[in-house]
Structure 1
């Protein structure tokens, strides 16, 4: 019985690991029923597409794993973490608002993942970015209204799953109206249930209707729904709302349990147990939990069954849902890469005002910190032109004017509305040089009076489309 329980417990885990070669402990866990793995560029799992394909092939030789990754397109990319994504993110797709284009983009992202041997994508993000100062969603959202996000949620799920990759929509019940990052704390969505249904839940309902194979919970509190418990650990959110009220019967995946919003006070093994009790099926452990931790988490789950806290039937239900997902993944589907659609979408998303084509401009990019989900992915116009990178906190208007001399200026910013130093320097510079072109590669909430261009994302193709419009290519 204990061996059977250990196997059931392992079936609910998505383990991280380091390197581009699977370690021996991981292969042994896969042989003993581990549910799958989560790949991270920062763990060295994605050296390049060929290396990733070799890695995933080795994983499959040891078992039947679900192989997951965060490949949203746009700012959040793991496949293209060294260059930036070939596909624009959700904000750009929402601005274009062409559902067939969104479906094509996600279908090609799915084809990229299949080529690399990945079978589940932690995407799309279907949060409604109703808080413009949101530090973690921003350009990852299709928009700020439930209608736009819901329509594109359905289209993106359809595209990914046509390629044979399981979509995992996130972050239930909605991370868009938060001012904090759940990697670092427990955000609060202060919405009553009526507003929650009208705004946050509408895209999830659309994704469920579109047949999403998986859905990811968020480590946030909705006081009227979850009390003081994060949604990932809340029976009211997962079993009550998602299962019973919305009727979702697919796999529920937790966001990374190493995040402060889930395990900061209780530790990862206890968070794993509470998530299963709440109704989750597949536990994303995060990026830093390895061999000893996997054994500790498995033991905690088995102990919770023996103690009567976690019904064995609940654990069996979770494992059964994971098995059904693996059955769906086993059906072969063939689609072709369509990388041209990524550049097409990025070009169509560009919005420009004023005279933006300048002869031999000095291009200056103001540093902007990326959030934890984005990671250290390069951005800016450097692939197409010489670009000077400066810290807005230590750079003055006089510095920029002296550097420019008589040359026209292009100033590249990212989410200037959220970064006071960027915005202040841009406003000071454009007051002195009103011919300056400002390129916003985040959300264009703040817009200068001078000529400006918005890309709605900082992916490689967003920069390419901007460089074309500026006459830099």
Structure 2
């Protein structure tokens, strides 16, 4: 019975659970006493007020100090602390194009300070994927770029900056999600690159991250036939134990991407995927958001499956104990409670991020006179981004129209008497919106198209495109300010002031 209790506690330790709602559930303390490894916060835990999100994190850290508390705070489009009001930091695409490691480190330190103040001990960031496919539906501006060496040096700088604030980094998505055309939330992608390409492209940033001391690395739900033709990385002993542990020598915690994603569990279910991933070499099992209010039961389902697998020999008990020990070490090093953020450090990071966003925005060109109209194409975002606020250009005096279902008449917009701005994310990836945009641009070739996603090649065919490289506040405002500067530069000069009336002729006589 002692052995059974030890196995069950170790099984709990390997689970990164979730719950629904914006307050700490009453059942969580009991699971923490049973050994639960951690909790990850998702969109369904986020209140409209960022202060409430931070308050929830602190409440969790105080109530259950043994838990590793995690969320996705990449900066840029993927944010949780600033979900309702848009991140005050640029994302990786801006930082990579600016290519200043001091800026990247400053942004990561500021994010780390905010997270530590919110009681968060594990940040599921940075994204280290080399975005070699410009049509990638899930990575895009989350990546530092398409050059492996650039991605590697910025990944390392981000890891060092974040972890300097007492928050563990989680470098993702091993061994690389950048060359995919499928979103692993929805299906199982494949990367058919040969081994030589993977070694010189996908794996380079992860080698740099390990050398920089990254506390954790996250797996991807992707099949890479050159490494394992049968199983996605999350379930592959060849990739997790053979490559990541053995050949690359990574000694930190291996975390799965959310196991409720189709790429991991569509065919076998979450509990079976959890057992297979542990056996493959993973240590901490992220079981995804609790969208049906089953947070406690979802954890128990996984724990029961792991205990049963140990009992029938499917999962060696030594592998389970090894995983639990790694999670214990992670918790001891980083789950140390909340610490007030240094406001100077935070503002330094935000200011550096704003400067980087301004530096990477191109020229707008000539903009006509008159009241501006901004049309927002609300084409949605992938599940990693969710419904976070985006694209607030802040163009002075502009009217803003959001297009959700259907599109306004291009003929009507053509007649707008003033500058016309259309802002979108990955506009070319949405067939209906792309067709409408091409029609509008044909009618109004002076329209300014603002692309805040990773630009697809088709965008180059448009006559006037401003690329912002992200939809969070810094790049959005940098584009808006560039448009305002162009408006001021092309505005007609003010009419000269009328000359003063001439003095009356003759001597002036004072009446008494």
Q: How does 1:438-453 map to 2 (within 5 A)?
A: 438-445=449-456, 446-453=459-466
- Distance in 2 (CA, whole Å) between partners of 1:43 and 1:374 is 14
What is the aligned partner in structure 1 of residue 402 from structure 2? 389
| Distance apart, 1:342 and its partner CA | 2.7
Aligned residue number for residue 471 of structure 2: 458
**Which of 286, 301, 305 in structure 1 is aligned with 2:306?**
301
Task: Check the 8 A contact 1:10/1:33 in 2, yes or no.
Answer: yes
**Conserved? CA contact 1:71–1:79, under 8 Å:** yes
The SS at the match of 1:256 is: coil
Q: Give the match for residue 231 of structure 1.
A: 233
C-alpha separation between the residues in 1 aligned to 2:131 and 2:17? 30
| Secondary structure, counterpart of 1:74 in structure 2 | coil
The aligned counterpart of 2:434 is 423
Distance 2:399 2:373 in 1: 8
Tell me how far 1:176 sits from its aligned partner. 0.6
Indicate the SS of the match to 1:276.
Answer: helix
What does 1:202-213 correspond to in 2, within 5 Å? 202-213=204-215
22 and 154 in structure 1: CA distance in 2 versus 1, 3 angstrom threshold: same
Which stretches in structure 2 are left out of the alignment for 5+ residues? 488-512
Equivalent position of 1:329 in the other structure: 334
> Normalization by structure 1: what TM-score?
0.94
1-side partners of 2:314 and 2:152: how far apart? Answer: 37
Size of the alignment, in residue pairs? 471
Which of residues 310, 314, 318 in structure 1 aligns to 2:315?
Answer: 310
**Residues 56-75 of structure 1 deviation map (CA, whole Å, 9 limit, x = unaligned):** 33443334111000111111
2:170 paired residue number: 168
Q: Which residue of 1 aligns with 2:359?
A: 348
Q: Distance in 2 between matches of 1:383 and 1:205?
A: 40
Question: Matches of 2:430 and 2:60 in 1, distance apart?
Answer: 44
Q: Which runs of 5+ in 1 are unaligned?
A: none
More off after superposition, 52-61 vs 463-472: 52-61
1:25-44 equivalent positions in 2, closer than 5 A: 25-44=27-46
Say which is worse superposed, 213-222 or 51-60, in terms of deviation.
51-60
Task: Return the alpha-carbon distance in structure 2 between the equivalents of residues 464 and 187 of structure 1.
Answer: 34
Aligned equivalents of 1:164 and 1:195: distance in 2? Answer: 35
> Which deviates more, 433-442 or 354-363?
354-363
The Cα offsets for residues 293-333 of structure 1, whole Å up to 9 and x where unpaired, read as 21121111111111111111111111111112122215798
Aligned Cα root-mean-square deviation (Å): 2.1
Q: 1:46 to 1:115 in 2, by over 3 A?
A: farther
Q: Deviations over 1:45-98 (max 9, x none)?
A: 775324533443344333411100011111111111111111111111111111
Counterpart CA distance in 2 for 1:54 and 1:142 is 30
Alignment of 1:93-104 (within 5 A): 93-104=95-106
Given candidates 137, 140, 145, the residue that maps to 2:139 is: 137
Correspondence 1:66-465 to 2 at 5 A: 66-288=68-290, 290-329=295-334, 336-338=345-347, 339-356=350-367, 359-381=370-392, 383-384=394-395, 385-391=398-404, 394-402=407-415, 404=416, 406-445=417-456, 446-465=459-478
Counterparts of 1:422 and 1:317, CA distance in 2: 50
SS in 1 for 2:267: coil
Change in Cα spacing, 1:61 to 1:87, as seen in structure 2 (3 Å) is same
Question: CA separation of 1:75/1:58 partners in 2, compared to 1, >3 Å: closer, same or farther?
Answer: closer
CA-to-aligned-CA distance 1:218-239 (integer Å, 9 cap, x gap): 0110012122211101000100
Cα separation, partners in 2 of 1:94 and 1:392, compared to 1, 3 Å: farther
1:452–1:25 Cα change, 3 Å = same
SS for the counterpart of 2:171 is strand
Instruction: Give the conservation status (yes or no) of the 8 Å contact 2:234–2:282.
Output: yes
Residues 46 and 79, structure 1, Cα contact 8 Å, conserved in 2: no
Displacement of 1:411 in angstroms is 1.6
Partner SS for 2:70:
strand
Query: What SS does the aligned partner of 1:277 have?
Result: helix
Matches within 5 A, 1:51-66: 51-66=53-68
Classify 1:344/1:382 alpha carbon distance in 2 versus 1 (closer, same or farther; 3 Å): closer
- The Cα offsets for residues 334-366 of structure 1, whole Å up to 9 and x where unpaired, read as 753132223222222212242257542111122
In 2, the alpha carbon distance for the partners of 1:54 and 1:229 equals 37
Deviations 1:194-241 (A, max 9, x none): 111111000111111111000000011001212221110100010000
Partners of 2:186 and 2:178 in 1: CA distance = 16
Matched residue, 2:510: none
Bigger Rg, which one: 2
Change beyond 3 A, Cα 1:117–1:65:
same
